[in-house]
Every structure is written in structure tokens, then in C-alpha cells.
Amino acid sequence: MLITMFKTKPTSRFIYLSLTLLLLLALFTSILASDPITTENGDEEDSEEVVSKAQRIVLELNGDNTKRVIDKNEFVMVLGYAPWCPRSAELMPQFAEAANLLKELESPLLMTKLDADRYPKAASLLEIKGFPTLLLFINGTSQSYTGGFSAEDIVIWTKKKIGVPVIRINSVTEAEEVVKKYHTFVIGFFENFEGHDYEEFLKAAAADNELQFFEVSNIEVANVLFPQIKATNKFVGIVKSEPERYTAYEETTFEAEKLLQFLSYNKFPLVTKLTEINSASVYSSPIKLQVIAFAEDDEFDKIRQPLQDVARKFKSKILFIYIDITDENLAKPFLTMYGLEESKNTILIAFDSTFSSKFLLDSDLSPSNIDDFCSGLLHGTLAPYFKSQPIPDNGNATILSVVGKTFDDLVLNGPKNVLLEVFTPWCSNCETTTKQVEKLAKHFKGSDLIFARFDASANEHPKLQVDDYPTLLFYRAGDKSNPIKLSTKSSLKDLAGSINKNLKARDKVTKDEL
């Protein structure tokens, strides 16, 4: 689904992260430069030329003509944008190229754009509330765009919505053109275009928003699209421009829901490179297990083949993704979750979004280690990863610094009472609590009580689940599994009183004035 990022004119740019770890997913939306449009001879068009082309092909709406254009045309696609919106600027070349392709196909769809910032009344009439927004109007009734971000995605989605969910291929020549033109497509072979199975195929084609469906009845033509189709009266398969090129639907039952599920699990390459254009589709994948490789492009080439080999073994069970580690907008949000945001080396991580668990391959990236890591992920035998800062040297510190790696030893397994302050650097109220804890630490010095601090932005532990900062937890000796939460809004004197009540009788400290 296209995200309408900005509702008002911003004073700064924001990076949105939506992980379907709850991942990933859906999605964060980042600001990236558009991929260049490639012409038939392989040359890349200048982005300004593409935008200029959009000006010539795409009809510009305004305050005077918007309602008239919508009312007088059966099919109208509207791009609501704002000149200052970087996401709008990124989408414009893809929208322009889609307009070119639709024009070549003699589509009845009218492609238009509206400067919603300049013409707010027209934007309000179309119910455009953010930028960019894509809307399809059929006989004056609008529906939101739910396809991908590339020009090809826009063309496929719109063609389906205006009544062409499946294209029939009748000759070998036509089939050869399809193979040249489409990166990914679905083929349905039916001896007769009728019956329950065919109707379910049509339903799946209409319901899918991303893939172009083709239908054939001649086995010779079908084999151009999908070689080695066995003699049968029905067949469905997906074709991709990547090493795992052909995948057949092997169920004997043809139901639209099952066909769509088959496509959802098989439409991605063995290893998908995450980009802004495909991010929405990747994040919405039904595959709950994801393995993500972070590396510079040159370094990724070293593990590409072994990773593809492993991906082939776990096909449709684990989604394999590659992210350029130098791309801060895409890579950094993930790496921050692991405390690895400064890393420049190749990293392999994994998610199980069903249980919101994350994992890290901390050994070398040999084919056998990658295979074992993925097998452990699939069978649930991997130890979850919790990020941690390096073990600090507390020396003679009055307040101990606790990190993820030392939480067990210093907090849970130690024989003494522990008062733990959980904070984050960005917490506006944490400074006040920190000052109170420092005074309390001096006041209770010499008692059977350890004062400690835990930076929750850089450390994690499975037995420390805190959502509010700052948080004060009192771990009583002998009962560390049930920490007592102290109010951070209490006065210093009240906090001292609460601590005294929780200390063992022999360890009580006289409540002096603080």
C-alpha cells in the first residue's frame, strides 16, 4: 500500500520504521533517490528528462478542471503530490514511466496529477489527505492504490482494476515477447477456458495486486513461458528472472485462496534485495521467518551463491533478504535493534515474527554455518539474541553499570539486594531520577544494597521487560524473580522510606534527612 507520509508541510524530514518483527514489514518509509528509468537501448534517462516527460504525458489537474476531468472520464488515476515532498519527487518518475507504458498499450486510463499543496480545495474534493497519494477513479468512484511503487507495478495494478486481470496469449511470438518484457509473471494453462478451476484462477488474478497473469490453451505456447509443462488439462506456475526461475503450483485442488497463498510464498527471488520500491511488498510477506544479510555490494557477492543455495533449500519457509549496509535509511533501523549500528562488516541476522524473536549468526559466514543457522531458525533451536554493550569496568563505582551480558551476574544471581534504574538517553525525565538515585546511593552506602543502572536503548535481557522510562526496580535478595517497582514520581524521602521497608530487618538504615 502506498503510504501517505506527510499531512502538513514539514520543517524537517523523518524516517519511518515499520518492522514486522512485529516486523518488519509493515514498514518504515525512508527517503531514497528514485531508480533511474532505463530506455530500450540500455541508456539511463536523466531524471529531469523523465519528469519533463511526465509533464507532457500526465494531465495536470487544478482548481478548475479537477471535477470535470473525473466526471467526464471512465477511468482516471490521480497522483496527489506536493512539490516540497521528497517522497512525491521519488514517485513522480515511476508514475511518468507508467503513463508511458499505458499509453503504448492504448489503455483507456487517463493519468493525472494534482499539486495538492497549491490546490487544497481540489485535494479536499478528492479526499487527498497526505502526500503522495494515488487514487483510481472508475466512473467517479475512487479507490485507494494498493500496489507496488515501480512503474511496472502501477501498470499491472491499474490494468487489473479496469478489467484486464488476465491476458490471453495465443502464439509463440506473443509468448516470447512476454518473456522479454516481464520480470515476474504467472502462467495458467487450461485446455478450455471454462470450469471451476479456471474460474478460481480468474478470481486469484483479480485479487492479486502485484503480478501479471497470462492464460494459454496451446501446450507449445505454454512451454515458451514455462518449459517442460507436462501433458495436462490444467497448470499454474510462476516465472521469475532469477536463478530459481520456474516454480509450479503442485496442489491438485484449484482454489483462489490456495493459488494466492502459493504466489505469496514464491513470488520473491531466492534472495531479495530490499529497496524503497519493494519494501511494502517484502514487509507484507506471510513468511514469518526472515534471514537478512547486511553487507556492502562487493562483500555480498562473496556470500551470494552460498546464501542462494541455502535459500533454495528453505524455499517458501524462510524469506531471505539482502540490505546494503551502507544505506543508512534501510539498514540502520535494523542494526540499531541489535546494537550493531556502527558495524561495517557483513552481518547475518534472523527474525521469527510469530514470537517477535531475533537471532544473530556470530560465527564466520561459511556455507555450513549459514545452513546450520537457518536450520536452527526453522526448527526453533536457535538461542534468541539480546543486544548488549561491552562489559564495563565498574571499578569502585558507587552505582554499577549493568549491560545485557552482566544482568544475570550482577542483578539476578548476586546475593545482595539491588536497586536498578532503567533509563534511556533520550528520556526527558530520566535525569531527575538519576540525580535522586545518586543521592540514595550515597545515603545507603555500606548497606546490603547495590545500586545499578541499565541503559535500555543499548541493552536487552529476556527477564527485563520495561516499556516506561525511567523505571526503578527493587530486587530483594532471595526473591529476584519478583522485582518491586518503585514510583519515580515520589520524593527523595519517600523513596528512601520505600527502600528501607524492602530491606531485610538487619540491613535497615536509619532514615536520616536527605
Query: Which contiguous run of DSSP H or E holds residue 438?
Result: helix 430-443
Can you tell me the distance from the alpha carbon of 400 to that of 393, in angstroms, rounded to the nearest whole number? 9
Marked catalytic residue, from 85, 135, 166, 441: 85
Is residue 374 among the annotated active site residues? Answer: no
Q: Which amino acid is at 172?
A: V
Can you tell me the distance from the alpha carbon of 419 to that of 450, in angstroms, rounded to the nearest whole number? 6
Q: Which amino acid is at 332?
A: K
Can you tell me the distance from the alpha carbon of 57 to that of 167, in angstroms, rounded to the nearest whole number? 25
- In three-state secondary structure terms, 453 is strand
Contact 441, 394 (CB under 8 A): no
Query: Quick one: how far is CA 437 from the chain centroid?
Result: 40
Marked catalytic residue, from 427, 458, 466, 477: 427
Phi, psi of 72 (to 5 degrees): -95, -5
Marked catalytic residue, from 303, 430, 440, 449: 430
Q: How far lies 275's CA from each of 26, 30, 148, 292, 345, in Å?
A: 14, 10, 11, 13, 20
Can you tell me the distance from the alpha carbon of 338 to that of 329, in angstroms, rounded to the nearest whole number? 16
Can you tell me the distance from the alpha carbon of 363 to that of 9, in angstroms, rounded to the nearest whole number? 47
What pairs with residue 209 in β-bridges? none
Can you tell me the distance from the alpha carbon of 285 to that of 275, in angstroms, rounded to the nearest whole number? 15
- Which residues have a Cβ under 8 Å from the Cβ of 45 and sit 6 or more positions away? 36, 37, 38, 39
Residues annotated as catalytic are 85, 427, 430
